[in-house]
Structure 1
Amino acid sequence: MFTQRFRGQVIGIIVLFCLLSASLGVALDTHQARAAGDYRSYANSSAATLQSWYNSSNGLFNSTGWWNSANALGAIIDYSSNTGSTAYTGDIATTYSKNSSGNFLNNYYDDEGWWGLTWVKAYDLTSNNSYLSMAKTIFSDMAGGWDSTCGGGVWWSKDRTYKNAIPNELFLALATKLHQRTSGDSGSGSYIDWANREWSWFNSSGMINSSNLVNDGLDSSCHNNGQTTWTYNQGVILGGLTDMYKITNDSSYLSKAEAIADAATGTLVNNGILKEPCEPSSCGGDGPQFKGIFMRNLGYLYSTDNKQAYKNFITQNVDSIWNNDRNGSNQLGLMWYGPFDSADAARQSSAQDALNAAIPFSTSSGTSNVALNKTATADSSCSSSETPNKAVDGSVTNDSKWCSGGASGQYWLRLDLGASYAISSFTVKHAGAGGENTAWNTRDFNIQLSSDGSNWSTVVNVTGNTASITTHSISTTTARYVKLNITNPQSDPNYIAARIYELEVYATSSTSNVALNKTATANNSCTSSETPNKAVDGSVTNDSKWCAGATSGQYWLRVDLGANYAISSFTVKHAGAGGENTAWNTRDFNLQLSTDGSNWSTVVNVTGNTSSITTHPISTTTARYVKLNITNPQTDPNTVAARIYELEVYGS
């Protein structure tokens, strides 16, 4: 809880002016600018930066606190779920193994609640029951903090000196999540019973003021203490109320959530950009975390009520974060309206929450890293484990990099994408992205493209770089081969070598979703409104999905594109993308292509999926017909059915 742990001083106007002036001096490298609205790319870069604070030796995030680490890991999990990326999912098992002996419990019930929600997210992503069991253990301890003082509610700490908003909001949110994931949960002492008791008490406690904002807590007379309306207190309650609506179908929960969201987005802002009441001071160690928690839950509310104002608020804030509150290393600061102040894992993960919320609205949701796992060659390798393929394996963990120490000082990495793509941008992850000395970040380099592997055109040229992750937008260029030439590998004169953790190549413009509004057929439909055409209508709102409940367990969706296309990737939006239970996300499936509708070739095969949105780049293949075969529709053993909100097929 922020108000009793925050020890920051009020900054005088002269000191503040100096701080902001210094921040203004942090200029963005021009080669890092991205097109507005490319939210997935923003999230990719921010997640890589956030990962640089992750400490695998203790499973926490450096530069921030215990409860902040729960939220930072939660942001990484949400990023993984929203993008289908597995680059950082190893953090989950590491954090659990390093800290589970204490069951993630301490003296503060709110700290416990954050960890409880994070382990629910981890369970949803991985289906590892140990994580769900841990969340239930944490909830049980939190329930021990409830007593009759002030008529009910959970105490802030085990010292029992203060009843306030945040532990009770977390208790509600965790109760609803556990109810949704516990078969047969009902009766006295059940998770839904606790959720009903908590909301009844909280709603009548007076902490929600007449302006529909949540104050910090109760005074000694059990009345609203009038203390600060922190953004996270407006946020967590949105998640709990949204789930109460999903559980009960009672629209009053949604109406209350919207009233709080409207009040927060209308008053806790600076020119439409979310502003913490403690800004522009440092906000201590806790305050920088808060705004992301609000945005995370606002995104969850939007996925349920589809209120356009919330989507607009999310994208407006993310645009401002990226354009006004970012330094040259893709670090994101406290004040989302700018300027950038300083960097730590709390600030980064808070902004990551906002970026995650915007991923579904990305203007380039059909883009993919076409370099992933493609053929890579290089001038040399420092060791047998630092080979060129490590620069295209999608990982920056476990020292997964290409390193070259050629004495000539000429270093190059070449990729064969296997087919021609319309390339629009690159992301290069240098030494610092993998946790190495940032003085080893690539100093001077260029990127070239070729259609035949012989004639090269330089499309990016960088000198004097110091950033750990660089992004480079170009005019869309069709090419099959990519070459990274390094002319000055680092600023440190010692241990000279080229070190590249990842070279990502993004292809966009020439491809489009060629399945949109095309003819779709399927094995069956759950209802007359959940027909196959709903999976190609471009919408994930208003329950616009194809659902099939075949008892045989054989589910298929077939799309006739109407003509042959050069297909390079797919995006599948599963149950969670439409706001449904993520345990209903398609578990095992494959994608097939055909030119005649009779002879099929399997190009994608997935087992064990838990993500809500999955992307699948392939070697470009010409086909007219696409077939999605689902062999295991979900993780949850109940209400078994195939649920596909959208099958997107990208081609030209």
Structure 2
Amino acid sequence: MKRFLFSVLLAVVALTLITACEDKQQPSPVVRPDTTKPTTPVPTVSRYLTAAKKTHEYVLANLLTPYKSYRVNATTDPTSAFEWYNVSQIYADAAMVKLGETSHATYMNDSFNWMSHFWDDAKPNGGYFGFVRIDGSEKGADTLKYIDDNALSGIVYLEAYEVSTGAQKAAYLDKAKACANWLIKSGTWDNTFDGGFWWNTAKTVKPTQSNGLAMQLFTRLYAITGESVYREWASAVDKWLSTKLYESSTGLFVWQIDRAGKRFTEKFTYDNAIMVEAFLLYGEVMKDASYLVKAQTLGNAMNRTLWDKTHNVYIFNTSDLRINPAWCGWGSQAMIKLYESDKNTSWLGYAQGNIDAINTVLRDPGTHGYYQFATLNGAGRYANIEGVDVAWMQRIQALLSKYR
């Protein structure tokens, strides 16, 4: 046994020496560097971002003026500028800046500076008029000031504030506060129907959209400044809307109440979209989770009543089954905001379907502008392309491009 083990041991040692010698005589081959070029993944650009950029090309070619204002349209009213049309384009450009498209900051800031031509410098509380000429002339020719115009402007400026720095950032906040100050001191909130803002200084109707936008502005300002006056106003508007204009049978907000007390029960897509956003903001800022549930419930009610399943699009309102880029497109913005709040992808399905339908029916494939109105199947399409519609399609497609 020992002799056998000794023989085995000698064999193993011999084999090891032979292998070692062979290793010295035959060195391992040199590993050559890999000269194969790695495959670089091609970045995927959302088709909605591409569409938003094409839409902005239409704006630059047809609507932007040498004064840095935006005309109403390029055909029937090329010398007029409407306040909410111009501020909506700022809204659209702010969405692009937020995506990293920083070249849009110049357009955003230039337009913001030009908005001073709408502001009433003759009154201590200011306020925006609704109309001037594209060169800024004829300010005050129409003396009406609109609550929705001024509230939307403040909201837009706070979005621009989020993507700005330094003195420009401060200027956006200051002007948003000036818009809110005008709302508070305009005399358009009174005891008629126990509160609520009138649509404009003529005091003819108290609608959902004006009050919903005011609620958004006050809530946003409270979040930024912490000033209690904004919280109090946001809460007052919220209470008034839920008491006077909410319809429990449909779960939607109705259109408006007129001076005589008549309640108009048509339901508009953009009214309810505005309220979805108002609830989401209020719940987030006030740390009240019940408002997320309210927003979700309202979103579901929109999709039961205001969504046309056959054509996959939001209708203008329950009495007018047409499509409009801005007013129907607002529904997509609300659905995107819902998705950002609860991550339920079904909301994005509605947002995308609505945009796709508007693109099919109302987009001009040659210019990338958007016609104002058409029926659900595209019949009776208007010939005019309004600046506000183009602005909103730029904005909502930019918003969607983050996810689709």
Q: Aligned runs of 1:305-316 on 2, under 5 Å? A: 305-316=342-353
1:65 aligns with 82
1:218 to 252, 257, 260: 257
Distance 2:346 2:162 in 1: 28
2:305 aligns with 267
Is structure 2 residue 179 aligned with structure 1 residue 138?
yes
Query: Residues 86, 335 of structure 1: CA spacing in aligned structure 2 closer, same or farther, 3 A cutoff?
Result: farther
Give the alignment's TM-score, normalised by structure 1. Answer: 0.45
> What displacement does 1:57 show?
0.8
1:246 to 278, 281, 284: 284
Distance 2:263 2:246 in 1: 5
Structure 2 gaps, min length 5: 1-43, 74-80, 120-125, 130-144
Is structure 2 residue 128 aligned with structure 1 residue 105?
yes
2:207 to 164, 177, 191: 164
Matched to 1:314, the amino acid is: A
Deviations 1:292-328 (A, max 9, x none): 2332233122211222221111122233334454322
Is structure 2 residue 306 aligned with structure 1 residue 290?
no
Query: Residues 353, 292 of structure 1: CA spacing in aligned structure 2 closer, same or farther, 3 A cutoff?
Result: farther
Matched to 1:68, the amino acid is: Y
Q: RMSD of the alignment, in Å?
A: 2.6
Q: Secondary structure at the match of 2:179?
A: helix
Distance 1:321 1:151 in 2: 39
Is structure 2 residue 334 aligned with structure 1 residue 329?
no
Matched to 2:230, the amino acid is: Y
> How many residues in Structure 1 have an aligned counterpart in Structure 2?
318
Structure 1 gaps, min length 5: 1-34, 363-652
Query: Residues 154, 344 of structure 1: CA spacing in aligned structure 2 closer, same or farther, 3 A cutoff?
Result: closer
Q: Aligned runs of 1:549-568 on 2, under 5 Å? A: none
> What displacement does 1:61 show?
3.8
Distance 1:37 1:94 in 2: 27
Q: Secondary structure at the match of 1:298?
A: helix
Distance 2:66 2:332 in 1: 27
1:121 to 122, 142, 159: 159
2:270 aligns with 232
> What displacement does 1:356 show?
2.3
Question: Is residue 325–residue 362 contact of structure 2 (8 Å, CA) maintained in 1?
Answer: no
Question: Is residue 92–residue 391 contact of structure 2 (8 Å, CA) maintained in 1?
Answer: yes
Is structure 2 residue 91 aligned with structure 1 residue 74?
yes
Distance 2:114 2:307 in 1: 39
Question: If you compute each CA radius of gyration, which structure gives the higher value, 1 or 2?
Answer: 2
Question: Is residue 207–residue 218 contact of structure 1 (8 Å, CA) maintained in 2?
Answer: no
Distance 1:232 1:302 in 2: 17
1:55 aligns with 65
Q: Percent identity?
A: 20
1:353 aligns with 395
Q: Secondary structure at the match of 1:54?
A: coil
Distance 1:57 1:222 in 2: 43
2:52 to 43, 63, 72: 43
Distance 1:142 1:208 in 2: 26
Question: Is residue 251–residue 298 contact of structure 2 (8 Å, CA) maintained in 1?
Answer: yes
> What displacement does 1:39 show?
2.2
Query: Residues 95, 354 of structure 1: CA spacing in aligned structure 2 closer, same or farther, 3 A cutoff?
Result: closer
1:84 to 92, 100, 120: 100
Distance 2:354 2:336 in 1: 12
Question: Is residue 59–residue 96 contact of structure 1 (8 Å, CA) maintained in 2?
Answer: no
Distance 2:284 2:101 in 1: 28
> What displacement does 1:44 show?
2.2
Query: Residues 158, 360 of structure 1: CA spacing in aligned structure 2 closer, same or farther, 3 A cutoff?
Result: same
Distance 1:359 1:161 in 2: 40
Distance 2:112 2:395 in 1: 21
Q: Secondary structure at the match of 1:218?
A: strand
Question: Is residue 153–residue 163 contact of structure 1 (8 Å, CA) maintained in 2?
Answer: yes
Distance 2:197 2:53 in 1: 38
Matched to 2:194, the amino acid is: G
Question: Is residue 36–residue 319 contact of structure 1 (8 Å, CA) maintained in 2?
Answer: no
Query: Residues 297, 118 of structure 1: CA spacing in aligned structure 2 closer, same or farther, 3 A cutoff?
Result: same
Distance 1:137 1:66 in 2: 16
Matched to 1:265, the amino acid is: N
Question: Is residue 238–residue 297 contact of structure 1 (8 Å, CA) maintained in 2?
Answer: yes
> What displacement does 1:139 show?
0.6
> What displacement does 1:138 show?
0.8
Matched to 1:44, the amino acid is: K
1:394 aligns with none
Question: Is residue 109–residue 155 contact of structure 1 (8 Å, CA) maintained in 2?
Answer: yes
2:237 to 198, 204, 212: 198
Q: Aligned runs of 1:571-650 on 2, under 5 Å? A: none
Distance 1:163 1:98 in 2: 30
Deviations 1:218-241 (A, max 9, x none): 144646332x32221011111111
Distance 2:247 2:394 in 1: 28
Q: Secondary structure at the match of 1:319?
A: helix
> What displacement does 1:96 show?
2.5
> What displacement does 1:288 show?
4.9
Query: Residues 80, 47 of structure 1: CA spacing in aligned structure 2 closer, same or farther, 3 A cutoff?
Result: farther
1:185 to 221, 227, 251: 227
Deviations 1:252-294 (A, max 9, x none): 211221222112223223322122137666x8xxx65312233
